[in-house]
């Protein structure tokens, strides 16, 4: 009985195996049971590939994740490499100070080059960050600022196809439908946008500023990454606080990304400076149309302001160019309601010969063009007045008064005053405290400043000061540094004297206007006494300045001859 039952069972099983063999792969059942993960993964991969190919939303999500990981890895890689370079260099012992300075200089250069490649790789606001660094010669070592300088006007470009898609999305029309001509190659690419030359249907030649389309996708991530890096720097090198730089970037970037703000600022600046052509020669391109990411302006070309060969060839007086720049930016700083241009680097300024149909109020044979009006900052009244009094005290070489007002507008203590004075004036500490407007900053002084910045204590003091001062003070320092740098590049035959005197005139007027404002708040008789005092004080200062200015005029006349 048992053997009969066993035989039937074996026959039944054999039959089932035969059927299975006839209609399926011999090892299919065995393979799935033995390797289930392989088949599950294969199924998921196949489903994912189909979704990637057929579902746009899924496709975009995968692409965004891939690019995000790429951007994170670029930032993380550069950060770790720079950390390692500085840790290794600072951890060594050196036999002499000269050996230490040479090692630090090499380290600065190496890390700046690593950072530059990372900034160029990621583009967007990273380029903006590099431009900030290049302009902060009062803070960063020259190895850093010089390495970042190419970012002023040589930035990554977006493709024409990307720009055309943005026009279709934002304006509902392709580029061919909107313009008679449109140069596919941009004439310039900046951190946030690039500019194309085009011609409207009516024949007018225009400059079209197009925001990089990728910015919209990655700005929140990039802001987070930059803040994370600066926070990490703060933990590893607490003596060099740079968190404020990330905060400044976050505060300004979203304003700059709305080109309607730029259009408003450009129109306001153009209207205001139309009344100051006699001492600025400033030209702001007219805005034709603006939306969130696209700005159409009149086309005004020009040469860089450091192109001295162009100026000499066209008979443009360098000292007059320097004076016009000084008038422009000091007018912004010291005049209420004007606002200060927040990105005054060399790539945002140009010069050209004054055309035949140029503004008749402009007495010069040139025009200075100011671009990129995306961000302006107003200087608070009290800060502006204290800053003006600081400079007037410098004229009188009154260190105590200088210190008094520096502490008020920059929130510093007595010990930090010498370092701040050096940063604001762009001179070494001894020269800043005993300021001589006739003394040109020579190579020896520049070398001393470079040497001092590699000294840990001085650099630490400067970093701490700049992390505490109001952000608008940093902007003013940046503006000072630009005009000072261009003055040196232009090799102004009058030296720094004339630009310093121009600044002092605006400072004196700012103090005078503030005194008048305060006097108007007094009682009737006290009001007129205070007005008279303010007028006498202003005329006393102005008289000295006009004497200096007359001497400068004579010197300028002789340089022309």
Q: Output the pLDDT for position 122.
A: 80
* Residue the block writes with tokens 């190919």: 53
Q: Where are the domains of the chain?
A: 57-152+217-254, 381-560
Q: Is 141 helix (H, G, I), strand (E, B) or coil?
A: coil
d(CA 198, CA 264): 22
DSSP 96-151: SHHHHHHHHHHHHHHHHHHHHHHHHHH-THHHHHHHHHHH-TTTS-HHHHHHHGGG
d(CA 348, CA 57): 39
* Residue the block writes with tokens 């950060």: 79
- Over the chain (561 residues), the average pLDDT of each successive run of 10 is 43 44 44 52 49 45 55 81 85 83 87 88 79 74 84 80 96 96 91 93 96 83 78 70 75 88 96 96 97 96 92 92 93 93 84 92 96 91 94 86 91 86 78 67 69 62 79 83 79 74 91 90 84 86 76 65 48
CB-based contacts of 70: which residues, under 8 Å, 6+ apart?
Answer: none
* Number of helices and strands in the chain (H, E): 24, 11
Query: Sheet containing 366-370: which strands, arranged edge to edge?
Result: 282-283, 366-370, 349-353
Of 241, 230, 139, 240, residue with least CA distance to 477: 139
Burial zone of 324 (CB within 10 Å; 0-12 exposed, 13-18 middle, 19+ buried): buried
* Residue the block writes with tokens 């030359």: 197
Q: Are strands 282-283 and 366-370 parallel, antiparallel or unpaired?
A: parallel
Residue 359 near residue 277, CB atoms below 8 Å: yes
d(CA 470, CA 330): 18
DSSP 8-state class, residue 199: E
CA-based Rg of the chain, rounded to a whole angstrom?
A: 32
d(CA 59, CA 56): 5
d(CA 535, CA 557): 31
Q: Output the pLDDT for position 64.
A: 46
DSSP 8-state class, residue 124: T
- What are the C-alpha distances in Å from 204 to residues 245, 286, 288? 41, 12, 11
And the tokens for 404?
A: 């008094």
And the tokens for 320?
A: 């007059």
d(CA 223, CA 172): 30
Share in percent of the chain as helix, strand, coil (round to 5)? 70, 10, 25
d(CA 456, CA 171): 53
Greatest CA separation found in the chain? 135
294: β partners: 210
Q: What angle do CA 43, 51, 68 make, to 5 degrees?
A: 105
Q: Output the pLDDT for position 186.
A: 94
Q: Output the pLDDT for position 11.
A: 44
pTM comes to: 0.76
d(CA 402, CA 94): 38
> How large is the angle between the packed helices 215-236 and 125-135, nearest 10 degrees?
50
DSSP 8-state class, residue 348: G
Residue 295 near residue 262, CB atoms below 8 Å: yes
Please give, one letter per residue, the 3-state secondary structure of 522-561. Answer: CCHHHHHHHHHHHHHHHHHHHHHHHHHHHHHHHHHHHHHC
Q: Is 423 helix (H, G, I), strand (E, B) or coil?
A: helix
Could you count the other beta carbons within 10 Å of the beta carbon of residue 495? 20
């Amino acid at each position: 009985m048992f053997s009969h039952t066993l035989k039937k069972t074996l026959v039944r099983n054999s039959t089932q195996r035969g059927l299975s063999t006839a209609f399926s792969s011999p090892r299919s059942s065995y393979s799935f049971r033995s390797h289930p993960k392989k088949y599950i993964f294969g199924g998921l991969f196949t489903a994912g590939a189909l979704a990637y190919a057929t579902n746009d939303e899924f496709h975009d999500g995968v692409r965004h994740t891939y690019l995000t990981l790429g951007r994170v890895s670029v930032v993380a890689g550069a950060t770790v490499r720079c950390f390692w370079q500085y840790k290794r260099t600072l951890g060594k012992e050196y036999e002499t100070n000269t050996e230490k300075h040479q090692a630090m200089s090499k380290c600065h250069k190496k890390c700046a080059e690593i950072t530059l490649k990372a900034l160029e790789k990621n583009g967007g606001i990273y380029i903006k960050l590099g431009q900030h660094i290049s302009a902060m010669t009062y803070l960063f070592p020259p190895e850093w600022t010089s390495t970042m300088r190419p970012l002023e006007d040589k930035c990554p470009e977006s493709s024409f196809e990307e720009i055309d898609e943005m026009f279709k999305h934002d304006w509902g029309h392709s580029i061919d439908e909107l313009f008679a001509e449109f140069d596919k190659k941009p004439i310039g690419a900046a951190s946030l946008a690039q500019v194309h030359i085009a011609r409207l249907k009516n024949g007018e030649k225009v400059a079209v500023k197009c925001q990089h389309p990728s910015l919209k996708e990655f700005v929140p991530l990039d802001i987070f990454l930059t803040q994370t890096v600066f926070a990490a720097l703060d933990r590893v090198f607490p003596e060099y606080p740079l968190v404020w730089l990330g905060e400044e970037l976050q505060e300004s970037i979203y304003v700059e990304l709305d080109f309607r703000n730029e259009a408003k600022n450009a129109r306001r600046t153009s209207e205001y400076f139309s009344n100051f052509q006699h001492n600025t020669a400033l030209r702001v391109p007219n805005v034709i149309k603006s939306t969130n990411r696209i700005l159409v302006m009149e086309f005004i070309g020009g040469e860089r302001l450091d192109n001295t060969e162009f100026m000499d060839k066209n008979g443009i007086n360098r000292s007059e160019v320097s004076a016009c720049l000084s008038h422009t930016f000091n007018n912004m700083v010291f005049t209420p309601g004007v606002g200060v241009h927040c990105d005054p680097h060399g790539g945002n300024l140009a010069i050209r010969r004054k055309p035949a149909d140029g503004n008749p109020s402009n007495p010069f044979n040139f025009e200075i063009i100011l671009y990129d009006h995306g961000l302006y900052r107003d200087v608070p009244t009290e800060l502006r007045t204290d800053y003006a009094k600081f400079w007037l005290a410098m004229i009188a070489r009154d260190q105590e008064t200088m210190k008094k007002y520096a502490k008020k507008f920059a929130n510093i203590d007595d010990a930090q005053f010498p370092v701040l004075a050096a940063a604001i004036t762009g001179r070494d500490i001894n020269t800043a405290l005993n300021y001589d407007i006739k003394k040109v900053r020579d190579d020896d002084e520049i070398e001393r400043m470079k040497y001092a910045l590699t000294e840990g204590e001085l650099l630490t003091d400067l970093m701490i000061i700049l992390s505490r001062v109001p952000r608008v003070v940093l902007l003013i320092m940046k503006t000072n540094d630009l005009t000072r740098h261009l003055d040196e590049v232009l090799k102004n035959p009058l030296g720094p004297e004339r630009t310093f005197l121009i600044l002092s005139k605006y400072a004196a007027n700012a103090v005078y206007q503030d005194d008048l404002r305060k006097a108007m708040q007094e009682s009737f008789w006290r009001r007129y006494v205070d007005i008279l005092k303010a007028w006498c004080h202003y005329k006393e200062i102005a008289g000295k300045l006009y004497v200096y200015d007359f001497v400068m005029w004579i010197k300028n006349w002789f340089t022309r001859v």
